[in-house]
Amino acid sequence: MRRILCYHATTVARSCDITGKSTQIGGRYSNRTRATQFNPTGKVRRKANLQRRRLYVPELGKTVIIDVSVKGLKTIKKNGAFAALKKVGVI
């Protein structure tokens, strides 16, 4: 049986499973634009540096696939995969 995703499940912004980082909305200004009276700049969406990684967790004896930012990978390297995933409630 094939599972059909609803509209909202496919449009949710991707975020890091460890740190919770997601997209941020900010302005796009250059120094030249700041100096002029007319500012024709809009908003820009800055995406987090997300990677899809397969992590082997020896305590569970299985592989887990997570979307994680590079800062989250450094956290996993420091604390270990099981401790980092348990702290955020993924496991």
The structural domains of the chain, with segments of one domain joined by +, span 7-88
User: What confidence score (pLDDT) does residue 2 get?
Assistant: 47
Give 7-88's CATH code, choosing from 3.90.25.10, 3.40.50.300, 2.30.170.40, 3.40.50.920: 2.30.170.40
Q: Residue 75 phi/psi, 5° resolution?
A: -65, -40
Q: Where are the beta strands (DSSP E) in the chain?
A: 24-27, 43-46, 50-57, 62-69
Residue range 45-78, pLDDT digits in tens: 889 999 999 999 999 999 999 999 999 999 999 9
Instruction: Retrieve residue 88's tokens.
Output: 């955020």
